[in-house]
Amino acid sequence: MLLASPVRSALRAIDAEQPVTRIRTMDAVIEESIGTRRFPMLLLGAFSLVALLLAAIGVYGVVTYIVSQRTREIGIRMALGARAAEVVGMVVRRSLTPIAAGLVVGIAGSIVASRLLGTLLYEVKPHDPVVLGAIVAVLGTSAFAACLVPARRAASVDPLVVLKEE
């Protein structure tokens, strides 16, 4: 607002009859125009984080269940000489395949839905590759982390204990 009085003086020099009121910065104008949307967008962001957390917990639970169902197979593989890294890689690969398919379908769906939501986005293009890439990175990383814990647990299976159970 340091420039308010020089702007008023310049405008009076051009046309003294024009009233000059409410001189504001462009940041203030933008804040006023999007201010009503800020709280709903903060809520949407918070709910998105909760949804990401629930999705990671769900992936962890499903992978843990699948690994527990295949404990005998993993024990046999370990007894036959499979290294722990191979077992971890196998479990993670098999777990991330449907997740990758879900990410591809999700990105396609988001591109279609972005046409409907384009008016709600401020300074973001509906098909912004940076945003889509960031989403894939966050979801993929969280899914990978959720798969890694059960995979490492599967790799630490003692083959003797598993084979004695049956």
d(CA 137, CA 100) in angstroms, rounded, equals: 11
pLDDT value for 122: 64
Phi and psi, residue 83, nearest 5°: -80, 160
0.85 cut: is pTM over it? no
pLDDT value for 49: 87
Task: Dig out the tokens for 124 from the structure.
Answer: 């973001």
| CA–centroid distance for 23 within its chain | 40
pLDDT value for 55: 86
pLDDT value for 104: 92
| CA–centroid distance for 162 within its chain | 37
pLDDT value for 101: 92
Phi and psi, residue 18, nearest 5°: -80, 125
Task: Enumerate the domain spans of the chain.
Answer: 37-165
CA atoms 40, 43, 49, 54: torsion sign = negative
Task: Dig out the tokens for 49 from the structure.
Answer: 């984080």
pLDDT value for 105: 93
**pLDDT < 70: residue spans in the chain:** 1, 118-124, 126, 166
Task: Dig out the tokens for 55 from the structure.
Answer: 């999705």
Helices (H) and strands (E) in the chain, counts: 6, 0
